[in-house]
Amino acid sequence: MKRRQFLAAGAALSTLIAKPNWLLALDADNRYRNEIGIQLYTLRNEIGKDVAGTLKAVADAGYKQVEPYGFPGADAMIREAKANGMTVNSSHCNTGSILHPERNGVQPFDALLEKANKHGLTHLVVPYLSGDMRDSLDKYKMVADRCNEAAEKAAGAGVQLAYHNHAFEFKPFEGGKTGYDVFKERFSDQMKFEIDVFWVAVAGVDPAKLIGDLSGRVTQLHLKDLDASVQTPAYDGISKDAFKELGNGVIDMQPILAAAEKAGVAHCHVEQDHSPHPLDSIRESIGYLGKL
């Protein structure tokens, strides 16, 4: 080998060695990198003031899709996302018609599905459980059964229903069983999981392992990072300072994204529940993923 070739080869090897592991998982043809989404709850305050300007800023930052919140009341977010060239595959939705269909005034779930089809959505997500729906394993069983009923209807309409976790689902009841254990056991083939890797880590669980354990049952991920000062598990609330931009915390994204690919995850969305400067934060997070 000539000296020039040797030096070039050595420089290339040094670059490869120096390249962080997470970047090796996000080569230029990586579909999560090329289709990266943002959960718009991150920007709820900005959206409340200027939905059009905020969605333009999201597109300018390099995001390719968005996941709104509050569906079916997400028309403006969906409209502005599409106007800025971003796709909208999924939305977090109001859960009254799923968890409390018997209540007066609740919009039928069929109406949500009709509107989802109108907007071209392929995924709807149950985003949260109120305290009275998660204070016993029996309540979790009821939630699972009602989600299963809705998921069967959704499947018939060409829409995938999933459940988005926080940390409280992993809190053990007497005997050590958790609400998430109930979901894993009781969810039907039609009902899937949207895994929030931050809250899984807050609960003291390995996100990559959980994704692998649920292979074929996880449709989407939320990607956010956790401050190193947080003591886990923490099931009942954490400081706003715990939420960090990707790369500024302790969650290793490389094994998570590798597990996602292997498990058949469809979409990944950046999210940061709290930030003093949300637009700066989403730019930093997408930069970490190699987009800027």
Say which CATH number the domain at 97 has: 3.20.20.150
Please give the Cα distance from 207 to 16 (Å, whole number).
26
Q: How many domains does the chain have?
A: 1
Look at residue 63 and tell me whether its pLDDT is greater than 80.
yes
Radius of gyration of the chain (CA): 20
Spatial distance between the Cα atoms of 207 and 209, rounded to a whole number of angstroms? 5
Tell me the pLDDT band of 31, cut-offs 50, 70 and 90.
confident
Give 272-289 pLDDT, tens digit per residue. Answer: 999 999 999 999 999 999
Nearest Cα neighbor of 89 from 58, 62, 61, 120 is 120
pLDDT in tens, 13-24: 444 444 444 444
Decide if 4 is inside a domain. no
Q: Please say if the pLDDT value at position 11 is more than 50.
A: no
Residue 9 lies inside a defined structural domain of this protein = no
Instruction: Please indicate, yes or no, if residue 226 is contained in any of the structural domains.
Output: yes
State what percent of residues in the chain have pLDDT above 70: 89
Q: Are 195 and 264 in contact (CB under 8 A)?
A: no
Interval 118-149: pLDDT, tens:
999 999 999 999 999 999 999 999 999 999 99
Q: By the 8 A CB rule, do 91 and 69 touch? A: yes
Model confidence at 61, pLDDT cuts 50, 70, 90, reads very high
Q: Which parts of 37-79 are beta strand (E)?
A: 37-39, 65-67
Measured CA to CA in angstroms, residue 290 lies from 19, 93, 207 at distances of 12, 30, 21
Q: Answer yes or no: is 7 within a domain.
A: no
pLDDT attached to residue 219: 98
Which backbone phi and psi does 123 adopt, to 5 degrees? -135, 140
Q: Angle, nearest 10°, between helix axes 109-119 and 137-156?
A: 50
Q: What is the DSSP string of 101-156?
A: TTSTTPPPHHHHHHHHHHHT--EEEE----GGGSSSHHHHHHHHHHHHHHHHHHHH
Using the structure block, give the residue that is written with the tokens 């009923």. 149
Label the pairing between strands 123-126 and 225-226.
unpaired
Residue 34: band (very low, low, confident or very high) from pLDDT cuts 50, 70, 90? confident
Residue 48 confidence (pLDDT) = 98
User: Has residue 15 been placed in a domain?
Assistant: no
Mean pLDDT, the chain, whole residue set: 92
Mean pLDDT, rounded, for 184-212: 98
The dihedral built from the CA positions of residue 133, 111, 271 and 198, taken in this order, carries a sign that is: positive
88-100 pLDDT, tens digit per residue, is 999 999 999 999 9
pLDDT over 90 (residue 40): yes
Give the pLDDT of residue 71.
98
Structural domain harbouring 215: 20-288
Question: What's residue 76's pLDDT?
Answer: 98
Instruction: Note the pLDDT of residue 26.
Output: 57
pLDDT at 5 (0 to 100): 45
Q: Is residue 274 part of a domain?
A: yes
pLDDT top residue among 185 and 17: 185
221 pLDDT more than 70: yes
Indicate whether 2 belongs to any domain.
Answer: no
Residue 4: pLDDT over 90: no
pLDDT digits (tens, 9 = 90+) for 65-82: 999 999 999 999 999 999
* Residues 97, 106 contacting (CB under 8 angstroms): yes
Bridge partner list, 223 = 270
Spatial distance between the Cα atoms of 64 and 228, rounded to a whole number of angstroms: 29
Residue 275 lies in a domain: yes
Q: What is the sign, positive or negative, of the torsion defined by CA atoms of 144, 149, 154, 156?
A: positive
